[in-house]
Amino acid sequence: MGSTSAQNNEGLGRRDLIKRSAALGLIAVPTMSFLSACASGDSGTDDKVEKGEKSEKNPLAVNGSAPLEIVIFDGGFGTKYAEDARDVYKKTYPEAQVKFSATQKIQSVLQPRFNGGTPPDLIDNSGAQQMDMGVLVGKKQLTDLTPLLDAPSIDDPAKTVRDTLRPGIVEMGQFDGDPVWIMYYAYTVYGVWYSQTALDKLDATYPETWDEMLALCAKAKKQGIAGWTYPGKHPYYIPFSLYPFIGKIGGVEVLNAIDNLEPKAWEHPAVKAAFEAYYELFAKGYILKGTPGLDHRGSQGAWARGKALFIPNGSWVENEEAAIIPKDFKLSVGAPSSLDSSDKLPFGTIWASGGEPFIVPAKAKNPAGGMEQLRIMLSEASSKSFTSNTKSLSAFNGGTDGITLSDGLQSGVAALEKAGTNVVNPRLQDWYVKLQKEQIGVAALGEMMAGRATPAETIKKIQAFADAAAKDQSIKHFRHQ
């Protein structure tokens, strides 16, 4: 999000090419980390602040006079929500010195501090320069957040924090079974975003089948409007609607096999069918001219100005393009259209998952303070602040009562209700950043959607990338439990 942006979301680090070489700084400079560890007596273990007194009001035993340092990603969600939560912390612990900063350059600012054993206490690890989660977990550089999840929630001490979260949030923070390393704070709805007003003008409804999608694109083309656009420079946005489309056609097990890097996972007929359908958008001339050269803001801007009907994106787009989206746009999100009647999952199946990954480093000096700040953020009041300020849902399951929901947010809530249990959550973008962004996104899907490779060639290329990742012993591998 934001000008160079994520989660995210994000999320998720979802949104500009990650410079993997720097991400691998974690493993590429062991001597440096080793030297600094020796020099500082492995700072972080010795330097932890003393615990405070555990009580009903202070279940995490926060030391109220200890300093706390928070670093937030300054992207499409802005920082107001985090500042509001910080103010609650300061009010609760008036003696604590709270250092709060925001940056878009998470990795270049914080990686050296991780390596040197002096990281902040709480980080929103998001954006184009997100640090690689799999590497952080693999190198044991994060604090297990289970104590936070088991602590009583702020609003209702009879419920734990865990009890107040949206479906899938806890699981997303897990990499290998039980420890929860990440608290995803935003809740992102991914899909095909459009203007209901633009569809009304074409006397059309959102296409529930692919044939209807192609017919609507043909109708729009006659009016000089493209069917689709996408961030051509960052084609890993294409999966925001393509992956749930694959899952809808072939079932969740196809997406799980892809996440698990299983041999031949990409050769499944559902993948072939989905790729061929998307390729048709190119072949029939339904993609906005010049799309391959656009970044996320360029493509979103063209779409918001009515040059294209549809864009694959996440719910952050409403806040990110607030200055451009017209008042009467009626922003809406659609689930993937059905391919045909043999699809395994019903129309309405959608991808929704946590974004804005918050972490407490293993060597944080005040981990209890970092977790307490998250506990405050997971209260109804903080969640409402987030939703009001960002037009996005939070991980807290609620927090929308009494708020006038924006068009996009209302549409996202309705889409989640329609999906019911048919919410999918592909994990490649969390587990294998380079594979998802640089290889599947830029080197494969980007080439296919620009018409420079056929679906068959693209599948072959992606399967080779996935096989190489599966064999690569330098990266940690994860599996659906």
Q: Strands (DSSP E) along 403-443, which ranges? A: 423-424
- 3-state secondary structure string across 118-137: CCCCEEECCCCCCCCHHHHH
d(CA 462, CA 467): 9
Would 159 be classed as within a structural domain?
Answer: yes
Residue 423 within any structural domain of the chain = no
Q: How far apart are CA 76 and CA 297, in angstroms?
A: 11
Tell me, yes or no, whether 238 and 105 share the same domain: no
In whole angstroms, what is the distance from residue 274 CA to residue 250 CA? 10
pLDDT for position 401: 85
427-464 b/e (C-beta count within 10 Å ≥ 16 → b): bbbbbbbbbbbbbbbbbbbbbbbeeebebeebbebbbe
State which amino acid sits at residue 68: L
- Residues 115 and 204 grouped into a single domain: no
Same domain for 226 and 336?
yes
Position 381 scores a pLDDT of 96
Considering the domain boundaries, does residue 442 fall inside one?
no
Shared-domain flag, residues 232 and 339 = yes
Residues of the chain with pLDDT under 70: 1-46
Q: pLDDT for 164-202, tens place per residue?
A: 998 889 989 988 777 999 999 999 999 999 999 999 999
Distances (CA, A) of 471 to 41, 439, 468: 36, 15, 5
Specify if 118 maps to a domain: yes
- Residues 449, 163: Cα–Cα separation, whole Å: 42
Same domain, 339 and 199: yes
* Model confidence pLDDT, tens digit, residues 225-278: 999 999 999 999 999 999 999 999 999 999 999 999 999 999 999 999 999 999
Q: In angstroms, rounded to a whole number, what is the distance separating the alpha carbons of residues 441 and 102?
A: 28
First to last CA, the chain: 31
Evaluate whether residue 470 is within a structural domain. Answer: no
Q: Are residues 154 and 252 in the same domain?
A: no
Tell me which of 300, 334, 352 is where a domain ends: 352
pLDDT at 423: 92
Which letter, b or e, does each residue of 42-78 get, where b requires 16 or more Cβ atoms within 10 Å of its Cβ? ebbeeebbeebeeeeebbbebbeebebbbbbbbbbbb
Q: How many domains does the chain have?
A: 2
Of 305, 330, 352, the residue at which a domain comes to its end is 352
Are 220 and 280 in a shared domain? yes
Strands 350-359 and 423-424: parallel
Full domain range(s) for residue 194 = 190-352
Predicted pLDDT at 12 = 33
For the record, the structure tokens of 401 come out as 């009562």
- Answer yes or no: is 394 within a domain: yes
Please tell me whether residues 298 and 396 are part of one structural domain: no
Question: Does residue 432 sit within a domain?
Answer: no
Strands 68-73 and 98-103: parallel
131 shares its domain with 247? no
φ, ψ of residue 69 to 5 degrees: the values are: -120, 130
Pick from 352, 367, 402: which residue ends a domain?
352
pLDDT of residue 17: 29
Place of tokens 């590429």: 28
Residue 8 placed within a domain: yes
- Please count the residues of the chain: 481
The answer to whether residues 348 and 415 touch, using CB atoms and an 8 Å cutoff, is: yes
> In Å, how far are 12, 62, 149, 359, 360 from 370, measured between CA atoms?
20, 9, 13, 9, 6
338 and 222 fall within a common domain:
yes
93 plus 211 within the same structural domain: no
Same domain, 315 and 386: no
Beta-strand pair 183-195/331-334: antiparallel
Question: Of 363, 343, 404, 365, nearest to 141 (Cα)?
Answer: 363
Asked if 196 contacts 276 with a C-beta cutoff of 8 angstroms, the reply is no
CATH of the domain at 329: 3.40.190.10
Q: State residue 296's pLDDT score.
A: 93
Cα–Cα distance, 308 to 184 (Å, whole number): 31
